[in-house]
Structure 1
């Protein structure tokens, strides 16, 4: 999709906020710094050559190595890279134990693709519900164990009485939920699409493991998880019946989405070159949902984003530190444009079945994500009911 002046203006405005919020970034010399610096001179209502120049600098972020300003780099937990075991050759469930949350289990799953044991949180459908669908929930950038879907999203409470088995893979920090081109020195081995589409479903659906499955699957996510969910669903339409994305970006090449992907990976000290590989590698096309969303044509789709604005003096945000407040604003403004772009790409291809919700007030955080969980579930739930 060709950049439009409105989309480029939004990019420039968002980067201008970052430039003003992090003056230390001016010490850097990189395509990222150049994009921020140039964009800070461009008003949000500009069109023409100034916006085009800003867009060129922004596009450089997605195609060239650059240094992420130190203020943006998040400290690691010290646990990554997770150890691998080349002896793992067969997918299998090693243990099922009680875990954090209401009726939540921890499944320890041996993954040949990842060459390690993956911890997956599973909330079975309520007792007596009968056969139920599986809903895979992908987390944001930290993707911790326990999952933020439990700790911050409280889905075990929100969907306590709903006939659905919730599946929450964990320990996928800055992975984009993708099959990576190469192992990363910091992040380790990421082969998430293979794990989620080939290895895990047969194990979850094996009656021996106690889950009564109705044959229907959905997948959804917030932030990084939204990006991964839409890409995986789009490329595996025979596996999933419904998908939702809350505050995500859905392209590998569009300028604003490219920045989002790059920062997701690099701010956690991973090497972006290891994600999609060199330009032209199949992963760039495979994970660019906006460029080719045709896999969503026969799937129930829900998308949402806030507009990244709020009252700075409101009680909800009065205690927020500057970096969290500004990045929450900018990232949600970016996901707004990303969501609009995917909606437009689908409509260009004759798809109008998707539901897209926007709200005026909200930053990129769980306070905002919460409001969309139940509408997302309500929209996709009918598609996950077993056929008569």
Structure 2
């Protein structure tokens, strides 16, 4: 099923939660809504589900007006962050619940319900826990049961609100990989909300980056990471070095000193230079556009993370750089720094 949102507006008093949002999700896509708290992600998800209503705009499912239908008529499965499992029901009955409360005209008989539940428990690899209660499960197991329950009614759309937010890092990583594999099997149009950039980039076909009720950028994980459309996207996704610079006459200056980098068409005036930590090349003193003194070095695996105090300007700006361990950096060493890839955005962006 395709989902199309047109000029969606939602306000809570004077607060604008969604500001004329346009988005199209293709049939069978797995899309992540990514952004900080308060960016409008969950509000948008709830409007799609029919749990909330926009003040203006259209929601279309396969070209038809979804706002004319209530939540129970939209064939949407919803998975919440905190599972929302029924504590007094076994795993089996939790998954069966949606099937048992369907209108009589479409409700399956008991044998078909039990077969469907067994099929779903096998799908999420938890059939052996069917007789247990939620309190007897781990967090990761509860989340998989919540997903099986959402899938029981054979939804045409699957919505997940911070599905792994309550889990520890190791379990989150395992479930992200599992969800990606599961989605390729079930092929249901799916949207999940997250503020975890790694989660969005690892799981989704496309990422929708949101801030202050607006969509900043839509693209594949590679596009939003390598070609951020705004200063916000560059700063929010990945770890970036950000330097306040001045652009003029085709030159980029830091603290009044010209840097040996191209302005790349950036408008004249105050600007911000963004460089990924791993895109700042380290060499001997005098070899780069910037120079600094190594303050501290931490090594883990094949990477060393160096804290460097930039020379020049008023005071010293501290930045962190990720570098391979082919040459071990030493505290007190003066190094040259040259951005391999970078973006320049106007300071107002």
> Could you tell me the TM-score, scaled by structure 2's length?
0.25
Q: Which has the larger radius of gyration?
A: 2
Structure with the higher strand share, 1 or 2 = 2
> Could you tell me the TM-score, scaled by structure 1's length?
0.23
Structure with the higher helix share, 1 or 2 = 1
